[in-house]
């Protein structure tokens, strides 16, 4: 029986669907091998190592059926996001995204984390960043050592994950460099029909002024109209109740 070498994503791992021996291949009786259904998702996750794909601890328990989502966030928007998640596979395959816009503390980030959580639970690759952290991460690639994480390799991972989640879009100081990075990233995902999930405190006109109309135009193509979340800051209200 021929030996099947294990690539890095499969090293010392068991099969997540319980079919192969962990190699990503199924050996037939005639010593031929066919690909296990676990192989492609695991290869995809392996290729995307180096992007922030772990849900922040604060949001790991979020659910549509528990507060604050079930009690404090605009019900109409929650219904739209829940419907999107229920059809997550089709939305990701077709490159459809979501755009959550509104005031501070109205639940934008919580809803966005619910979407990313659902994608991760379905073994889809996700990159989760606030915009300032994403830009700082891009800047660090300029200082990488030879053989390290180059700008091109990091950019390729950002543009190839199933879902790119950017929180606080428009929160970075405007500059030509920022405009260039955002346009390149969003345009690449737009052309490749890959989903984008964004939250922002800015309305569409303000966002165009901050990150450029070309980038916002592509976001509209990917995400459709922004889902509005306005009202009081629930975090401030919660602190006031606790005092």
Both 67 and 90 in a single domain?
Answer: yes
Predicted confidence at residue 191, as pLDDT, reads: 96
**Domain annotation covers residue 166:** yes
Q: How far apart are CA 88 and CA 118, in angstroms?
A: 8
Per-residue pLDDT, 138: 92
88 in a structural domain:
yes
Q: In terms of domains, do 144 and 228 share one?
A: yes
Burial of 242 (0-12, 13-18, 19+ CB in 10 A): exposed
Q: How many helices (H) and strands (E) does the chain have?
A: 10, 7
Residue 16's pLDDT is what? Answer: 76
Rounded-to-integer distance, Cα 243 and Cα 124, Å: 41
Position 243 scores a pLDDT of 41
Q: Are residues 157 and 227 in the same domain?
A: yes
Domain count, the chain: 2
In a domain, 224, yes or no: yes
Tokens 């606080």, located at residue: 168
Q: CA–CA separation, 228 vs 28, rounded Å?
A: 54
Domain shared by 28 and 84, yes or no: no
pLDDT of 232:
63
Indicate if 135 and 216 belong to the same structural domain.
Answer: yes
Q: Residues 150, 175: one domain?
A: yes
User: Are both 133 and 234 inside the same structural domain?
Assistant: yes
How far, in Å, CA of 172 to CA of 169, rounded? 8
> Over the Cα atoms of the chain, what is R_g?
20
Extract the residue ranges of the chain whose pLDDT is less than 70. Answer: 1-13, 31-32, 39-53, 144-148, 232-243
Instruction: Give me the percent of the chain exceeding a pLDDT of 70.
Output: 80
Residues 14 and 88 in one domain: no
pTM higher than the cut 0.85: no
CB 124 within 8 A of CB 177: no
Pairwise CA distance, residues 139 & 133, whole Å: 10
> Could you give the CA distance from residue 235 to residue 64 in angstroms, rounded to a whole number?
18
pLDDT of residue 219: 96
Q: What range defines the domain where residue 20 resides?
A: 8-46
Same domain, 77 and 196: yes
CATH number for position 155 = 3.40.50.300
DSSP assigned state of 76: H
Is residue 70 in some structural domain?
yes
Please tell me the predicted confidence (pLDDT) of residue 21: 78
**Torsion angles phi and psi, residue 128, rounded to 5:** -120, 120
Strand 33-35 relative to strand 25-27, pairing: antiparallel
**Are both 13 and 70 inside the same structural domain?**
no
pLDDT score, position 176: 94
């Amino acid at each position: 029986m021929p030996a099947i070498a294990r690539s890095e994503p499969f090293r010392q791992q068991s099969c997540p669907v319980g079919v192969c021996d962990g190699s990503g291949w199924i050996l037939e009786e005639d010593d031929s091998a066919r690909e296990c259904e676990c192989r492609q998702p695991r290869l995809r996750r392996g290729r995307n190592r180096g992007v922030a794909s772990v849900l922040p601890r604060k949001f790991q328990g979020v659910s549509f059926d528990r507060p604050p989502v079930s009690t404090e966030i605009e019900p109409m928007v929650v219904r739209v996001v829940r419907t999107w998640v229920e059809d997550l596979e089709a939305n990701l395959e077709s490159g459809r995204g979501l755009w959550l816009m509104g005031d501070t503390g109205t639940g934008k980030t919580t809803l966005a984390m619910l979407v990313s959580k659902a994608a991760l639970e379905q073994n889809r690759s996700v990159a989760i960043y606030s915009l300032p952290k994403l830009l700082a991460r891009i800047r660090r690639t300029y200082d990488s050592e030879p053989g390290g994480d180059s700008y091109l390799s990091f950019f390729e991972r950002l543009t190839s994950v199933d879902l790119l989640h950017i929180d606080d879009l428009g929160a970075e100081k405007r500059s030509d460099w920022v405009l260039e990075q955002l346009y390149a990233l969003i345009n690449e995902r737009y052309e490749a029909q890959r989903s984008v999930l964004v939250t922002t405190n800015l309305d569409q006109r303000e966002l165009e002024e901050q990150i450029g109309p070309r980038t916002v135009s592509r976001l509209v193509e990917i995400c459709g109209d922004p889902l509005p979340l306005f009202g009081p800051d629930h975090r401030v209200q919660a602190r006031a109740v606790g005092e």
